[in-house]
Amino acid sequence: MKDELGADVALSGPPSRVVSLVPSLTEAVAETVPGVLVGATDYCTYPVGLDVPRVGGSKYPKIDAVLDCAPDLVLGNAEENRPEDVRRLREAGVAVWVTAAPATVTMALESLRTLFTRVFDMATPAWLTEAEAAWRDPAPVRVRAVVPVWRKPWVVLGRDTFGGDVLRRLGVHNVYAEHADRYPRPRVEELRARFADGEADLLVLPDEPYVFTDDDGPDHFPGVPYTLVSGRRLTWYGPSLADARAELEAALADVRTR
């Protein structure tokens, strides 16, 4: 079979020893196919208490540590993992399934459906069906937002991002949604101008990958309404999507000002 990037992935049957280099996929596999994970990255924090060897980070995994796990499949992602690491694993004889970077909730759920029904030869998980129902109907636009995901330098959500589509379905228009880049790096002065000029009226600050807090982030935008949201709920696609909508809606209702 071929993965989402069109590469051949030779599997003789459903994998039984899996190393995941993608935190959201780690959570999805652990909940859906218990017992098959034999390795994960240092950033695979869910499910809490997952007891498997750690193989380094997503961008810089320790290839020898991955191979020491003797996996029959490694899970990667085109955005989170480097092509050279995928190549090294394949050259070592390991099957690697690479997912594309989903631009929408629908694409993410279809990617997961393919993983579990084709690769693991399972029925569609119940949580996936629940997530599809939860996110099917977009809300009308109610607010225009800037959504930083990093600081030093500032990086914001731009076009064709999963997190951007999650917010769109919640009625939040990302003012950088039409930007040429998926993750623009505007100067903080430009971000402030978006609010001063009336283009944006809410600053959305997730706690992942950069940990924004009441004391780190809003202080650069005095007088600007802001809200803190779970980065996992905003950017991870997996079982958490089934109940993420209610939590994110509650967070968006908790607007603060510095």
113 C-beta neighbours (distance < 10 Å), count: 15
Answer whether residue 258 shows pLDDT above 90: no
Cβ atoms within 10 Å, residue 51: 5
Each residue of 147-175: pLDDT tens digit?
999 999 999 999 999 999 999 999 999 99
Distance (Å, rounded) from C-alpha 65 to C-alpha 67? 5
Every domain of the chain and the residues it spans: 18-101, 134-257
What is the third-level CATH fold of 134-257? Rossmann fold (3.40.50)
Task: Report, as an integer, the average pLDDT of 107-124.
Answer: 97
Summarize the confidence of residues 233-240 as an average pLDDT. 94
pLDDT digits (tens, 9 = 90+) for 14-23: 999 999 999 9
CB 76 within 8 A of CB 39: no
Would you state the CATH architecture of domain 18-101?
3-Layer(aba) Sandwich (3.40)
